Chain A
Amino acid sequence: MAKTHVTMKVNGAEVEGLVEPRTLLVHFIRENLQMTGTHIGCETTHCGACTVDIDGMSVKSCTMFAVQANGSDITTIEGVANADGSLSALQEGFRMMHGLQCGFCTPGMIMRAQRLLKENPKPSEEEIRIGISGNICRCTGYQNIVKAIQYAAAKINGVEFREAAE
């Protein structure tokens, strides 16, 4: 099948590649760019494991062709850590609040949560739950993911994190 040349910015670096028109963005990221942090859980846009950030929006990369992302600015989980290599507030929050178990949904969940906190820096629990409802986690029951995002929001906002009373 004829291939198309695409260029895009991924985690701040210009990348390019030759792809078939039908190549999914998630496969371009995982196979061509060899960034395997973005996962595939359902291939039908339900689970969110493949969530990346494209031009300021959360996008499920299993349901977008690589050619559609031509020229765009993409952030994946590999581009989330702080510049000095330390964990970002969200990454730290997931670890501190035990917001992950098998880790398979985690990259998509963190990518979604990062965009959520940019859109709404002080979300309520309900807003967090609605905000991550496009991402499925099979392990945690979400309660600690909510706490992880609250932890990160507090840290980003420079306030003390207090766990919600049980």
Chain B
Amino acid sequence: MNDMTPTREERSAALEGMGCKRKRVEDIRFTQGKGNYVDDVKLPGMLHGDFVRSPHAHARVKSIDDSEALKVPGVLAVITAETLKTVNLAWMPTLAGDVQMVLADGKVLFQNQEVAFVVATDRYAADDGINKVKVEYEALAPLIDPFKSMDADAPVLREDLAGKTSGAHGPRKHHNHIFEWTVGDKDLTNAAFSKAEVTIKEMISYHRTHPSPLETCQCVCSFDKIKGELTIWGTFQAPHVIRTVVSLIAKLPEQKIHVISPDIGGGFGNKVGAYPGYICAAVASIVTGKPVKWVEDRIENLTATSFARDYHMTTEIAATKDGKVTGLRVHVLADHGAFDACADPSKWPAGFFNIVTGSYDFPVAHLAVDGVYTNKAPGGVAYRCSFRVTEAAYCIERAMDILAQKLGMDPAELRLKNFIKPEQFPYHSALGWEYDSGNYGTAMRKAMEKVKYAELRKEQAAMRAAFKRGETREIMGIGVSFFTEIVGAGPSKNCDILGIAMFDSCEIRMHPTGAGIARVGSKSQGQGHETTWAQIIATEIGIPADNIMVEEGNTDTAPYGLGTYGSRSTPVAGAAIAMAARKIKAKAQMIAAYKLEVHEDDLEFDIDGFRVKGLPEKFMSMKDICWAAYNSVPPGMEPGLEAVSYYDPPNMTYPFGAYICVMTIDVDTGVYKVKRFYALDDCGTRINPMIIEGQVHGGLTEAFAIAMGQEIRYDAEGNVVTGSFMDFFMPTAVETPHWETDFTVTPSPHHPIGAKGVGESPNVGGVPAFSNAVNDAFSFLGSTHIQMPHDYWRNWAAAKNLGVLAA
């Protein structure tokens, strides 16, 4: 070897594989305004469609008159439910087993519901047309409060379900009832409560909010009448699922549907579902023979396409008086709005809410969820969380604090006392999950040391004493949250969407010069898959990440995948990528053995090629093997170097973390200051620490927004009162706190590279940390639980209710 021979470290670094803070390949185009988002798609002769929407939350549609609209210059067509009935598309199936009106059919059931679709030569003409469509309504009594939805005299919302005593998830108890879902052992749980030394009970609400990615939902549909082919560019987090759904409901052969998700400007769950705009644009293109674009505006996005949460969780914990939990009982009232358009795996009407036992060793638990209809927009989607996991984490983390308060115990101590212990993994929870791995105590103690937890509590005690002496009007809260997520949906034994198992996939095709392309069934909306997927392959096969192009989002070229949401990409697609790469490597080993004239068992993989054991100078690089794959493969072997893997995960993955938030609140104004936020995440093997940290920052910022003010609120008549960025809290750089990130690494034992997923953990763990900080701040004044969101006004109101404001 001479001095020019790179060291092992240099060879490894040159790959920019797993663990490397590789800079993103996407950024070259995004920083120059050269991304390609749906609204950037322009086709010759393209038309624009836009909706006439209902001003009422609940009304009968008496008539729709489009005659004046059709006289508007540029307006070509007005599509109504009557038009759609001719192609049997007035209603569409939802992912949750319900049906949803595409356009108002006899009634409207929420404000801003789609009533008619105006198609015009440009977006301005479409707007002119909308203003000329005359719709006559007969207003009906609106049902807004979910707690009144099953009253005997509650208005009937869904007349289409008249006489249907059961739905997709079993019996219905009332005309506004959707489903009841129960898990756990009711009798054993009741027994635990009847002999409990201590119990707590609280109705913990997780308010309605919205994912609100900066790019709204949009599509371009282009139907080629000659070929009978439909091409759809759309903001789809799951393009293959959209293709299948379109094929099933539009009765088009699936091979003649081309779905393309180009660059997507954030998703956060908003872009999983199928919306009326997609159907209407497709029908409009078929009717007019021209491409049709539909682009939501922000108000439409906030008020019509899927919201998140609206879960009202009556939570009880049974415990011993020294703080050992003995039982958990939760009843959820789930407000789904006018249609159950929840985006969950089909058999899970409340998602994975049964992760609600959290990180604690509950011997017994029982959960019941009642889904109900109201006159609100349909949903709800998983806003930066795996299905209903953030609701579950908020529920248990708030309840543990309430229990700690009742016991007079420190909330961190209570958690440490009840954690599932490392030796209990794989752990079978009382509500049916098998947790793969965890080391909770280590993570919690590391977090407490880093923030100097004991000193913070002393500081808080001093501040409380000063408050009581009248020396300060500020109170201090320390919010502790320890979350366990369940992500990576999921194993075919329990997860499917419309019957399609929730696997994911990767196809790798190596080229002769030592480069390649990987096509994956996931779809980045900002997660940086083009960067990180190549890093997995680089480490697995020893080809530099820069030489691997990653492509997603085109259903013609990518293998079938279930898309990106619920932190499933790394657990499922990431595994498929590693497995496909290992197939490449296995064939490469046979080629190398042939070329080096040894048995393949005599070879060992060494960073970027194969080496003959004991003969270090006999080495063949992966680059040279790629060439040989197209030049001189062993006799009988097919040439080429390609592989496909479809990965059906054996289990979910269970990322976890410990978050601590320190906050002060001025009781006279309600103004809070986040003094410190520390987030320790354990997402198993870390593929790109830079991207993980970025994901954590973003998720924490969304958690901050949700906990501290971001709400879709309705008045009693069903008007959305937070329908624009003026009223819907979007933190700017000024409000957003500084984030401190940290980590431990507990690999998943069943994942090929041990990775668990991270994108949603900070939202799941962050919301309870903020809310617990606010509640902890007020607790010494006699408060047990204050509902989110904790904006200034509500903080002030809480202080007022507690009698600490001057009269």
Contacts and interface: CB of A to CB of B under 8 A. Distances in A.
Contacts of A38: 33
Given A46-B730, A78-B32, A133-B732, A144 B215 contact: no
A138 interface: yes
Nearest to B29: A103
B697 A144 contact: yes
Nearest to A41: B214
Interface in B688-737: 690-691, 693-695, 697-698, 700-702, 724-726, 730, 732-734, 736
Interface stretch (A66-74, A87-95, A153-161): A87-95
Interface stretch (B52-60, B134-142, B165-173, B264-272): B264-272
A55 to B, nearest CB: 20
B31 A95 contact: yes
Nearest to B215: A104
Given A44-B298, A138-B212, A141-B736, A101 B724 contact: no
Between A46, A106, A136, A142, the greatest number of chain B beta carbons within 10 A of the residue's beta carbon is seen for: A142
Contacts of A40: 39
Contacts of A59: none
A77 interface: yes
B39 A36 contact: yes
Contacts of A76: 33
B634 interface: no
Given A37-B34, A138-B698, A103 B736 contact: no
B128 to A, nearest CB: 9
A87 B28 CA distance: 8
Q: Is the interface of A mostly helix, strand, loop or mixed?
A: loop
Interface residues of B, number: 58
Interface of B: 23-24, 26-37, 39-40, 42, 73, 122-124, 212-216, 263-266, 268, 297-298, 525-528, 690-691, 693-695, 697-698, 700-702, 724-726, 730, 732-734, 736, 738-740
A77 B33 contact: yes
A103 B212 contact: no
A15 interface: no
A98 B694 CA distance: 7
Between B28, B29, B40, B697, the greatest number of chain A beta carbons within 10 A of the residue's beta carbon is seen for: B697
B698 A140 contact: yes
A104 B32 contact: no
Interface of A: 1, 20, 22-23, 27, 30-31, 34-44, 46-47, 49, 76-78, 80-81, 87, 91-92, 94-96, 98, 100-107, 110, 128-130, 132-146, 166
Contacts of B214: 39, 41, 47, 49, 102, 104-105, 136-138
8 contacts: A20-B124, A30-B40, A36-B39, A102-B215, A104-B215, A106-B31, A141-B701, A143-B697
Nearest to A49: B214
Given A98-B693, A141-B736, 18 more contacts: A30-B39, A34-B42, A36-B36, A42-B298, A46-B725, A47-B214, A80-B32, A98-B694, A100-B31, A101-B698, A103-B30, A104-B213, A110-B31, A138-B730, A140-B701, A143-B738, A145-B733, A146-B733
Contact of A133 (B690, B691, B725, B734): B734
Contacts of B698: 101, 138-141
A98 B734 contact: no
Contacts of A144: 694, 697
Given A44-B724, A102-B266, A95 B526 contact: no
B71 to A, nearest CB: 15
A36 to B, nearest CB: 4
A103 B27 contact: yes
Contacts of A1: 73
Q: Is the interface of B mostly helix, strand, loop or mixed?
A: loop
A136 B32 contact: no
Contacts, number: 174
A49 B37 CA distance: 13
Nearest to B32: A81
A12 B420 CA distance: 64
Given A39-B265, A47-B214, A101 B528 contact: yes
Contacts of A101: 266, 526-528, 694-695, 698
A81 B298 CA distance: 30
Nearest to A105: B214
B215 A91 contact: no
B35 A103 contact: yes
Nearest to B73: A1
Contacts of A106: 30-31
Nearest to A166: B740
A139 B266 contact: yes
A58 B740 CA distance: 32
Contacts of A77: 32-33
Given A36-B33, A41-B298, A95-B28, A22 B734 contact: no
Contacts of B24: 95, 98
A78 B35 CA distance: 11
B112 to A, nearest CB: 15
Contacts of B39: 30, 36, 39-40
A103 B526 contact: yes
Given A132-B733, A143-B738, A94 B31 contact: yes
B697 A42 contact: no
Nearest to B34: A37
Contacts of B739: 141, 143
A87 to B, nearest CB: 6
B545 to A, nearest CB: 15
Contacts of A166: 740
Nearest to B33: A37
Contacts of B35: 37, 103-104
B189 to A, nearest CB: 39
A42 B723 CA distance: 11
A2 to B, nearest CB: 12
B263 A96 contact: no
**Lowest 9 A-B CB distances belong to which pairs?**
A37-B33, A102-B526, A104-B265, A103-B30, A77-B33, A141-B697, A46-B725, A141-B701, A101-B526
A92 B264 CA distance: 22
B287 to A, nearest CB: 24
Contacts of A78: 32-33
Contact of A103 (B122, B263, B298, B701): B263
A129 B733 contact: yes
Contact of B733 (A34, A102, A110, A142): A142
Given A44-B298, A102-B265, A138 B27 contact: no
B37 A104 contact: yes
B734 A129 contact: yes
B798 to A, nearest CB: 27
A35 B292 CA distance: 20
Contacts of B265: 39, 41, 102-104
Contacts of A145: 733
A20 B74 CA distance: 14
Contacts of B733: 128-130, 132-133, 135, 142, 145-146
A162 B730 CA distance: 30
B794 to A, nearest CB: 22
Contacts of B725: 42, 44, 46-47, 136
Contact of A100 (B27, B213, B736): B27
Contacts of A104: 35, 37, 213-215, 265-266, 526
A31 B121 CA distance: 13
Contacts of A34: 42
Between A41, A47, A105, the greatest number of chain B beta carbons within 10 A of the residue's beta carbon is seen for: A41
